[in-house]
Structure 1
């Protein structure tokens, strides 16, 4: 187990180094970054002094090592728009995105599991075809279009849900204001219904198809037929015998989905004016606030790598064969 863990940790470190390298190179590909830190009317001498002060006159390998060293100490530079540390700006927006991502994941998992099982148990019937057709549509429709349609119909036409805004839940919870946090929870969930559906539709559709195919494979195994021949109830056969082994690919997908959803909220948060990290990155790109973009990319990559590592460990626990 320790060899497996060490190997995964080394792989995670290599991936994180690759992310820092790509984010650094992308900054250099955009041209001389010095011009982002000086005014449009700066003279040649002022630009040169700024270049030397910022260290952009040094060789690129030296700049990269300096960038990594500063990043290891939590220094990602100052935001050009907010005039404060970039990572601090990103961390302020992170709780709202985690709320939306978590709620989207719970919504997607809570619906995909019963839909996938029900479709597998009714294989070849009209209800199976209907569920799989809806799943195909859910995977085909872009989430930003889904969000716009939800705003127009459920927000503006029916007036059931708000089309923008956010009531914080995690921020007061982290601050120790538990009464405020749980008082905000119903409103927070109410504001997240539409964006969570827009974000989680693809995950819901894909997981429903995955659970269906996994269940169909397991239901055809000999031990399931043996359990049925012993007179065990169908509910116990499905939930105790079949689901126990059908969970393995599902656990992998669920663990990774949180990371995928974090990266997929950028457009949805912009559509719903949701004050999370996705909207922050979108605005930072428009304003060429490179430090904020870099800090966001590295933070999201770090979270995704950590989740991937946790999933590997859970998978190794569920199926010891993967450690080989």
Structure 2
């Protein structure tokens, strides 16, 4: 039992290290942060001074260790767009994230449980096969594509919902919740059907 727990902890630690290395690497792919933070008219000397101030001249391992230490302290740096610390910006958007998550899971359960029961009761029928087809489609269709399709039909075409933003109350939650819920509906429907 102890060896199992030790292996699981080691695996978890390796995953965390791998994810932090990927995040660190991806932030470097976006371009030179010093050049992005300065106006386009900044001179090479200004960019070099900003790089030195941010510690971007240090070797990558030193930058990575500094990145890890800052992340452990809850310091996720400054937003390139807003110039403010990133953590308060993330925290300010958490309510919308929780709202969307709760709406998507609630919608998925409301749809998947009854449909899964119907599919189980009519096993082998056309209705069962159709519901399983919808479930597989819900799992197979990429969320980004479904979102674009829903926006084109219900926002642009019919004008029923806003195309973006969080301004129209519950109406602005419908399309994101449906998009997020579709994969969950497919998964839960198949589980309930058995």
CA deviation map 1:175-229 (0-9, x unaligned): xxxxxxxxxxxx85454223211221122123212332xx2xxxxxxxxxxxxxx
- Which 5+ residue runs of structure 1 have no aligned equivalent? 168-186, 216-324
Residue of structure 2 in register with 1:209 after alignment: 190
- The alpha-carbon distance between structure 1 residues 166 and 4, as it changes in their structure 2 partners (threshold 3 A), is farther
TM-score for the superposition, normalised by structure 2: 0.81
1 CA distance for matches of 2:12 and 2:103? 27
Coordinate RMSD, CA, aligned: 2.9
* Alpha carbons of structure 1 residues 3 and 121: separation in structure 2 relative to 1, 3 Å: farther
- For residue 141 of structure 1, report the CA deviation from its aligned partner: 3.4
Q: For residue 27 of structure 1, what is the aligned residue in structure 2?
A: 27
- 1:22 Cα deviation from its structure 2 partner: 0.9
Superposed CA deviations along residues 143-173 of structure 1, whole A, max 9, x for unmatched, are 3443344445545666655554436xxxxxx
Q: Distance in 2 between matches of 1:113 and 1:4?
A: 36
Unaligned runs of 5+ in 2: none
Q: Which residue of 1 aligns with 2:82?
A: 82
Q: Which residue does 1:263 correspond to in 2?
A: none
Structure 1 counterpart of 2:176, from 182, 195, 207? 195
Secondary structure, aligned partner of 1:63: helix
Once residues 116 and 52 of structure 1 are traced to their aligned partners in structure 2, the CA distance between those partners, rounded to angstroms, is: 59
Residue-by-residue CA offset, 1:238-270 (whole Å, 9 max, x unaligned): xxxxxxxxxxxxxxxxxxxxxxxxxxxxxxxxx
Measure the CA separation in 2 of the matches of 1:191 and 1:58. Answer: 45
Aligned length: 194
What's the TM-score, normalizing by structure 1? 0.52
**1:21-58 per-position Cα deviation (integer Å, ceiling 9, x unaligned):** 11112233445433223333333332222221111111
Higher relative helix content: 1
Cα distance in 1 between the residues matched to 2:63 and 2:143:
38
Offset, 1:142: 3.6
Q: For 1:157 and 1:91, how far apart are their aligned partners in 2? A: 34
Aligned residue number for residue 36 of structure 1: 36
Q: Which has the higher contact order (CA 8 A, sep 6+)?
A: 1
> 2:147 aligns to what?
147
Report the Cα distance in structure 2 between the residues aligned to 1:109 and 1:4, rounded to whole angstroms: 35
Aligned to 1:130: 130
